[in-house]
């Protein structure tokens, strides 16, 4: 596939000039200067009696630099930065998401590059120098149980391959750690062959790979299990037991496959337990006369589509003196659209709302009443742990689409704090003995 230059935009609009083809991106952004600082080591040397001496060490701590591929609206960045990373580069193909991203982060000019365009057009030379981490939440469309499961050859999920080409182009400048995120369907796609192929490719690039799963529901009242691949040029020495919360039995065969180079990092902390409640506290408490509640006609269509079991579930809620909330989603059974109400105080997995069929509704029932409406963008933001996300001027469908496709911020922050950051720190540590040697000299 021809790989052409991407467009760098927003804060960095004036930063890169793009030429087509395998083209040169003429970079005026001084990000290259971040290299040595990103290693957390800044030495001022002088010569005393012909011997080097450290004048100032350490300098104020600097944050390891990360790049996010498939950045979407930037929720991976929010999680990574909460754990101390500095995300200075992002790529995504969709302008609507890019627009939300730059509107939210408001990066000062020259401090961040958003390369808007196909990842197939990104080159190693486009990335910041001194990169410690590359994050890639590549598209799940062909891996999701809800789709056709074309896997890593599918139109969307095959974007994994050009991402790895960028890593290859980085050669010795490859980040010591890479992290990939996708749906858990990646583990079973084509009978496990897709996951094995992804690990093999990362192995070829020099990375040992860990595979683990984490559900956003450990942090927010949304069921959103996801699979994470963590590649390390230098894998951690301490290995975890199998199976466990992060690597359940169904992942065992990956680690048992002797043709793959894998590891299982022993993390210092377990993730929090799965939440069993929380949605009702998080939803927006809209007054009954808010126009977003559906009118009678639409509400009756909703009620009439419920199965007897669903209708009874709703009647029970309705009989309670206190209003409670549930999420509902539409399924098509034998060509007929039917609504299903979740039985618990947890939201179903938010999805991309293209075409509207995967949007979730919120049901409020109690004291004899039943009200139904679509979930609001602010509720999507809450459910993704992105409470502070700037939604000013964002169209509703743009927001729902952006959030439905995104990662859960506290889940990424947890992984980054307890796994990625220690791994990166370990990888950068070999610089220290040099300093020690200089002091001793």
Residue ranges that bind ligand SAM, judged by CB under 6 A: 70-73, 75-76, 91-94, 97, 118-119, 137, 139-140, 156, 159, 405-407
Distance CA 143, CA 362 (A): 28
Tokens representing 49?
């009696």
Q: Decide whether 97 or 313 has the Cβ nearer to ligand SAM.
A: 97
The least distance separating ligand SAM from the CB of residue 433, rounded to whole angstroms, comes to 37
Q: Decide whether 159 or 305 has the Cβ nearer to ligand SAM.
A: 159
Tokens representing 73?
């609206």
- Cα Rg for the chain, rounded, in angstroms? 24
The least distance separating ligand SAM from the CB of residue 220, rounded to whole angstroms, comes to 14
Q: Decide whether 141 or 347 has the Cβ nearer to ligand SAM.
A: 141
The least distance separating ligand SAM from the CB of residue 307, rounded to whole angstroms, comes to 32
Q: Decide whether 134 or 407 has the Cβ nearer to ligand SAM.
A: 407
Q: How far is CA 258 from the centre of its chain?
A: 29
Q: Decide whether 76 or 399 has the Cβ nearer to ligand SAM.
A: 76
The least distance separating ligand SAM from the CB of residue 154, rounded to whole angstroms, comes to 11
Of the candidates 105, 115, 95, 103, the one whose C-alpha atom is nearest the C-alpha of residue 31 is 115
The least distance separating ligand SAM from the CB of residue 74, rounded to whole angstroms, comes to 6
Q: Decide whether 94 or 340 has the Cβ nearer to ligand SAM.
A: 94
Q: How far is CA 265 from CA 83, 382, 420, in A?
A: 18, 30, 10
Neighbour-count burial for 401-438, b at 16+ CB within 10 Å, e otherwise: bbbbbbbbbbbbbbbbbbbbbebbebbbeeeeeeeeee
Tokens representing 217?
């529901």
Distance CA 236, CA 265 (A): 6
The least distance separating ligand SAM from the CB of residue 91, rounded to whole angstroms, comes to 6
Contacts of 50 (CB under 8 A, 6+ apart): none
Distance CA 76, CA 326 (A): 27
């Amino acid at each position: 596939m021809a790989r052409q230059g991407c467009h760098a935009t927003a804060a960095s609009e004036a930063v890169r000039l793009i030429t087509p083809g395998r083209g040169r991106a003429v970079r005026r952004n001084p990000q290259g200067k971040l290299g040595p600082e990103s290693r957390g080591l800044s030495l001022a040397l002088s010569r005393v009696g012909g011997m080097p001496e450290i004048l100032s060490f350490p300098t104020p701590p600097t944050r390891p630099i990360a790049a996010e591929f498939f950045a979407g609206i930037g929720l991976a960045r929010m999680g990574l930065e909460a754990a101390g990373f500095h995300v200075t580069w992002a790529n995504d193909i969709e302008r609507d998401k890019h627009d939300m991203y730059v509107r939210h982060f408001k990066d000062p000019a020259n401090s961040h590059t958003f390369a808007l365009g196909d990842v197939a057009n990104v080159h190693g030379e486009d990335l910041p120098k001194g990169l410690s981490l590359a994050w890639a939440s590549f598209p799940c469309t062909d891996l999701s149980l809800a789709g056709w499961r074309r896997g890593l050859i599918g139109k969307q999920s095959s974007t994994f391959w050009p991402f790895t080409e960028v890593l290859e182009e980085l050669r010795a400048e490859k980040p010591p750690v890479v992290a990939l995120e996708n749906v858990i369907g990646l583990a079973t796609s084509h009978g496990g062959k897709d996951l094995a192929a992804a690990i093999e490719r990362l192995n070829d690039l020099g990375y040992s790979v860990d595979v683990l799963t984490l559900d956003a529901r450990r942090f927010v009242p949304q069921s959103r299990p996801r699979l994470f691949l963590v590649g390390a040029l230098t894998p951690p020495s301490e290995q975890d037991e199998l199976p466990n919360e992060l690597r359940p039995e169904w992942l065992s065969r990956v680690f048992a496959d002797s043709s793959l180079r894998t590891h299982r990092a022993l993390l210092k902390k377990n993730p929090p337990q799965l939440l069993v409640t929380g949605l009702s506290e998080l939803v927006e408490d809209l007054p009954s006369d808010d126009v977003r509640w559906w009118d009678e006609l639409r509400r009756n269509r909703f009620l009439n589509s419920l199965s007897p079991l669903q209708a009874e579930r709703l009647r029970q809620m309705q009989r309670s003196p206190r209003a409670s909330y549930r999420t509902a989603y539409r399924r098509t059974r034998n060509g007929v659209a039917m609504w299903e109400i979740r039985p618990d105080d947890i939201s179903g997995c938010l999805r991309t709302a293209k075409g509207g069929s995967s949007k979730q509704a919120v049901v409020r029932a109690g004291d004899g009443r039943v009200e139904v409406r679509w979930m609001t963008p602010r509720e999507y933001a809450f459910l993704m742990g992105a409470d502070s996300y700037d939604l000013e001027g964002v169209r509703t469908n743009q927001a729902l689409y952006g959030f439905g496709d995104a990662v859960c911020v506290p889940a990424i922050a947890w992984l980054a704090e307890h796994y990625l950051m220690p791994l990166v720190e370990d990888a950068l540590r070999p610089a220290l003995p040099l300093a020690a040697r200089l002091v001793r000299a």
